[in-house]
Chains A and B, each alone.
Chain A
């Protein structure tokens, strides 16, 4: 599944938000292979999307809105999407262009009618769904133009081909993760990945084995200690580092990518506790495992990621500004600013070329504090 364009208005901090995920020209010798639809090199899409930006800039909530939209489409579960509306007395709307099956571009326009009463959820949504066939020579812009002219009868949700997703958030987050896949996980593959990843993070780990006859349970041997892990929670979690615990989720994500089970992946700040070199290596592994017509979103605060040899169009910077009480999140594309392949993205971030660095001026007060 591939998202091509997102517009959000009045969801979380997103007002008049727009993010486009096509890119203008083919990159020669790109480190990301096949960044276009299978069998259609003109239909270019950003396969890997690295989201950066200050705290509370919208990196996590963007994933949550997408997750809520997908959940509504698949499970007719409107409440989470409705709860992500920022101001219920105003109209909220979203438009999402996506390719669920590699051959058709779908556009879904959802409009929530404002409520006059103070309600927690709005149940009144007007949904319009259009689609157009993607020919062998089409690019996204041409298909989108065709969709722009459609305004008559619309499709029903049931007519959208089935697609999967994999959202994963930091463990302390309320949502944590949401996965929709066609098939179950290959346990032996997962165990192999878990062994490799966890042993890299913690050299004291000697082996990880499955507990027979118990669902989703593993024994981690660490020196003389045996730790039991079931459904990603540990019996003695204070023995393992925060990074090692986070790596369990990362292993699951990698497993899903190897198996191409979900097709759409959103990995939100899972590497806050993991060494930068390991983060870079695992990110490159995940990129290498992405299949045709699949897409990956990855959020991070790690500046070292900007030094990786990835196309500039991979990097997006989210920036929140306030106009009165209303917040506006803007998506700034690195490729709009840095045109030469030799331009250093890391230096550009350090020099705040994208205007997304946090204002730290207020923190100066802390230097003056004393008892």
Chain B
């Protein structure tokens, strides 16, 4: 283990899956898990300050949105969040 890992997950179901995979060992890299819907919420810039530069952030979400307008909005939010992470060297 060389890096810090941090998981942003959509909901409590994904949180439980990740916690269980962490416990099994060797399935995924261990890291902290936080419920934050990356498709619906913009990451506040100040929130990126909790991560050390170089942290590997893993985003976990599903793609079950049917409505196309909603889907476009979600993709825009995701794009914004990815840019915010990149700007913070994460």
Contacts and interface: CB of A to CB of B under 8 A. Distances in A.
A364 B30 CA distance: 22
B34 A347 contact: no
A352 B30 contact: yes
Contacts of A353: 1, 22, 30
A92 to B, nearest CB: 30
Contacts of B4: 347, 350-351
Most buried by B among A344, A357, A367: A367
Residue from B4, B19, B30, B41 whose CB has the most chain A CB atoms within 10 Å: B30
Interface in A320-371: 343-344, 347-348, 350-353, 355, 357, 359-361, 364, 367
B31 A351 contact: yes
Nearest to A362: B35
Interface residues of A, number: 15
Nearest to A363: B34
Contacts of A359: 33-35
Nearest to B35: A361
Given A367-B44, A367-B47, A352 B33 contact: yes
Nearest to A343: B1
A87 B5 CA distance: 40
Nearest to A344: B1
Interface centre among A343, A357, A361 (most CB of B within 10 A): A361
B34 A360 contact: yes
B36 A361 contact: yes
Interface residues of B, number: 20
B6 to A, nearest CB: 9
A351 B29 contact: yes
A351 B19 contact: no
Interface in B9-37: 15, 19, 22-23, 29-36
Contacts of A352: 22, 30-33
Given A352-B30, A353-B30, A355-B23, A364 B36 contact: yes
Contacts of B41: 364
Given A367-B44, A367-B47, A351 B35 contact: no
Nearest to B36: A364
A355 B22 CA distance: 8
B4 to A, nearest CB: 5
B1, B4, B19 pick with most chain A CB within 10 angstroms? B1
Nearest to B22: A355
Contacts of B2: 347
Contacts of B36: 361, 364
Contacts of A348: 1, 30
Interface of A: 343-344, 347-348, 350-353, 355, 357, 359-361, 364, 367
The 3 closest A-B pairs by CB, nearest first: A361-B35, A351-B30, A353-B30
19 contacts: A344-B1, A347-B4, A348-B1, A351-B5, A351-B29, A351-B32, A352-B22, A352-B30, A352-B31, A352-B33, A353-B1, A353-B22, A355-B23, A360-B34, A361-B34, A361-B35, A364-B35, A364-B41, A367-B47
